[in-house]
Amino acid sequence: MENIVKTGTPTRARAATLVTVGPPARLAEAAGVLAEADEAGSLRHVLISTTGEDVPDVEGLQDVTVENVRPQFLNNAVAALRLSSLPTVVWWRGGPPDRLPAVATLADRVLLDAEDSLPLWRQAPALFGRTALTDFRWARLTRWRGVMALLFDLPQVREAAPDFQRLRITGNDPAQCALFAGWLASSLDWQGRVAVELERAGASASLSKVELDGPSASLQLALHRNGACLTTEARVNGDVLTSRVLSLGSQALPSLLSEELRVRSRDIPFERALQQMAS
Amino acid sequence: MVPAGNPLLDNLRIEPTPGATTLVIFGASGDLTRRKLLPALHTLSRGQRLPARFAVVGIGRTELSDDDFRQQFRESLREHAEVTGDDDVVRSLEGRLSYICGDTGDPALYERLAERLKEIGGADGVLYYLAIPPGVYSTVVERLGAAGLAGTPGRGWRRVIVEKPFGTDLASARALNELLHRHFEEDQIFRIDHYLGKETVQNLLVLRFANGMFEPIWNRRYIDHVQITAAETVGVEGRAAYYEGAGALRDMVQNHLMQLLALVAMEPPVEFSAGTVRDRKMDALKAVQPVSLEGENADAVRAQYRAGWVERREVPGYRSEPGVGVESTTETYVALRLRLDNWRWAGVPFYLRTGKRLPKRTTEIAIQFHRPPLEIFRRVSPTPLMSNLLVINVQPDEGISMRFDAKIPGTRMQVAPVMMNFRYGTTFPGEVPEAYETLLLDAMLGDATLFARHDFVETSWALVTPVHEAWEEHGDTSIPGYEAGEWGPQEADSLIARDGRRWRTL
């Protein structure tokens, strides 16, 4: 049993081709993120500039870079560089929104990460059956959703849920706030019963507070002053049912990218939240 | 009417958390609590895996106040979880810790516990963790039952986690199970075997039953034999008092190795549920034939380490360890050859070995396949062709390796074996949960898949007890030896060599 040819230290198995699409500045930022992401070593990287400008040098990454490709041929570039033996993940950091469907069709997974999500979200429902698509704004909501779900584990909260009347969300990213509202409305099947107020706050946090109120119960999630935790409180009939401080987890781009790369299948709650927003 | 399910849990990336739970730790000032349980709770809390309403009540004989217990929690995180900061998660969790000092034999302790549970606010679920010596189990279980703390109230639940050893032989295992069953139903009892909480052990189920390529060849037609190894470099490490009464057979084989064997040998379950998975494991265990102890052809070998060199230093022999008698015959090494009589495994031996003071700390399962029926490359290959091998590394480098033959590049047709390796740490970076995190959470969620069931424990003891008794009856003080730092005694090599095979050198 001993005459084994030593193959040396095992190299990282390639788990996917990650195609990053965007303008050069956003690609440069992505390169920095990739260098820090846990999964970087297991990815085959392809960077595609959407403006015809040079793709910045990315030290330490084994990349294929594509420059000077006209927007209408973005999908051709992806088609040429994807491998049938690896899942293809497209990280969309910018580019003409109308090219998204053609690119998405070639991908097993699409991570939307544009500065303005709304034009992409309008196109997204038509793509749900063709690829697994989510948005980084959704990834930033994971912990918030988890904490809200924790409160709904309490039978008293679930009992009071049909009577909630008002949802108030505060943050400086209206799209992200609306997405959270869309998730709650679709998950709890509000059908317009609950008044939703989105308040844009001047603080730096994309989402800083969620308040859900009814005659007998109120729930509150708020970003802790340290920015790294969430404070939660559930009141039922005036009594504090629970009050906790919970970690928000890392909201840094490398962590979010790692989280998104672990998702390989359709995210139905995200799809429902977007459809809820559209309605 | 309260909706039964939580609508927000649908496809939530953060996995579901248990309902309101109070964890009651008996042995709260002890080593297991400090090293494993408290760090595991912190990690679960950081990952939002603990319920919104969660509390810990520590119980111990050491005089501690609530604040002392919280201080112990902080120290435990510093020493065993490298959590040095005093972050908000730590503060939030420690606020939920309280402590009751008392003698586990004193009924008044349980009255105070009942009061504390009431003060905490009617937690729906109470999980008792017996992090105490096995000799005290019966007292605690009897007292919990007598105080009415074992029964399941209305919509809540009461569960108990029992640490190994689950008895010391078949009779004591049965007695322990009877005792537990007097006050708890089987679905309330969680017998913890931390091996089952390891990722690779769980992945064994995925490897076998989530892939179509392995199951068709997972039988006697394609597999020559199976080797299961659990090797430690450490000696008794101050646990002589326990180990002298246990030995490798009862400390490792009866529980960990038998669990691994069952996972390798089991039939496919029809669903991934605790009941079905454990039923199939039981079927496999029931197929294991009694161990032959006949003379020179015995299928069991025991040995004890002598002085030697391991972990870059000279170490004393077992009999020179503090607390060990100079004539001790406690085995620190066991090798077994097991036969499973069923259609899948008839004629395929399972070789098990475990020992202390071996050259490496490693646990693995090696599936050795038959050679090809016709060796057409025999004339051109300079070395004998080797059969295919699938190795499941349980620890420390969790992963799976496959050995197959490949052509050496060149103009000649030369063949050599190569390994294809999958390592968890490289493909799935990030933190792998500690076994205790997984198992604590599963117990809170009521998922018993990774816990040992009473019938498995008893059947396993039924296999192991006659071997132990035969060794006990042997009577003299001679026991084969092996040098610390060697891969076991000559007798173990002979055991497998009788079948024309040899142990893997790891």
Identity of the residue in B51, B403, B427 whose CB atom sits nearest the CB atom of A153: B51
Average pLDDT over residues B473-481: 79
CA angle A174, A178, A184 (to 5 degrees): 150
Token pair for residue A21? 């699409």
Confidence of residue A31 (pLDDT cuts 50, 70, 90): confident
Q: Is residue B502 part of a domain?
A: no
Q: Is the interface score ipTM higher than 0.85?
A: no
Q: What are phi and psi of B168, to 5 degrees?
A: -120, -10
Task: Let me know if residue B208 belongs to a domain.
Answer: yes
Q: What CATH number does residue B91 fall under?
A: 3.40.50.720
Cβ atoms of residues B129 and B26 within 8 Å? yes
Q: Choose the mutation target among A141, A190, A247, A250 for the interface with B, i.e. most B CBs under 10 Å.
A: A247
The shortest C-alpha distance from B482 to chain A (Å) reads 22
Of the three residues B163, B181, B206, the one that is the final residue of a domain is B163
CA distance A19 to chain B (A): 19
Q: Is B181 annotated as catalytic? A: no
- B300-306 vs B333-338, strand pairing mode: antiparallel
Per annotation, catalytic residue among B183, B194, B225, B256: B256
pLDDT of residue A7: 37
Q: Is residue B182 part of a domain?
A: no
> Residue A174 — very low, low, confident or very high, per pLDDT cuts 50/70/90?
very high
Q: Which residues of A touch B408 (CB under 8 A)?
A: 5
Chain B residues with CB-CB distance to A158 below 8 A: 2-3, 6
- A16-135 CATH pick, 3.30.428.10, 1.10.3720.10, 3.40.50.300, 3.40.50.720: 3.40.50.720
What would the two tokens of residue B479 be? Answer: 């026991």
Q: What is the CATH number of the domain that holds B273?
A: 3.30.360.10
Give residue-wise pLDDT tens across range A82-136.
Answer: 887 788 999 999 989 999 999 999 999 999 999 999 999 999 999 998 899 999 9
What is the distance, to the nearest Å, from the Cα of residue A3 to the centroid of all Cα atoms in its chain? Answer: 48
Which among B11, B51, B89 is the nearest to A268, CB-wise? Answer: B11
Residue B113 lies in a domain: yes
CA distance B48 to B58: 22
Task: Give the residue numbers spanning the domain of B419.
Answer: 196-497
Contact across the interface for A242 and B45, Cβ inside 8 Å: no
Give chain B's largest Cα–Cα span: 84
Averaged over B165-171, what is the pLDDT?
A: 91
Same domain, B134 and B255: no
Q: Which residue has the higher pLDDT, B277 or B121?
A: B277
For residue B490, the SS3 value is: helix
Number of independent structural domains in chain B: 2
Question: Are B282 and B366 contained in the same domain?
Answer: yes
- B378 with B443, same domain: the answer is yes
Indicate the domain borders of chain A. 16-135, 142-247
The answer to whether B159 and B149 have CB atoms below 8 angstroms apart is no
B116, B139, B163: which is the final residue of a domain? B163
Residue of chain A nearest B156, judged by CA positions = A155
Structure confidence by residue, pLDDT tens digits, B369-385: 999 888 888 777 766 67
Q: How confident is the model at residue A188 (pLDDT cuts 50, 70, 90)?
A: very high
Q: State the average pLDDT over residues B42-51.
A: 86
Do both B219 and B308 map to the same domain?
A: yes
Name chain A contacts of B418, Cβ cutoff 8 Å.
Answer: 4-5, 7
Average pLDDT, chain A: 85
How far does the CA of residue B10 sit from the closest CA of chain A (Å)? 7
Taking the C-alpha atoms of residue B181 and residue B137, their distance in angstroms, rounded to an integer, is 13
Cross-chain residue pair A247–B46, CB shorter than 8 Å = yes
Residue B444 shares a structural domain with residue B305: yes
Q: A18 or A54, which is more confident?
A: A18
User: Higher confidence at residue B432 or residue B205?
Assistant: B205
Residue B169 maps to a domain: no
Confidence of residue A4 (pLDDT cuts 50, 70, 90): very low
Listed residue (A269, A252, A264) closest to A38, CA to CA: A252
Lowest mean pLDDT among A146-160, B199-213, B302-316, B414-428: B414-428
pLDDT of residue A9: 40
Whether B462 shows a pLDDT value over 90: the answer reads yes
Phi, psi angles (nearest 5°) of residue B436: -70, -30
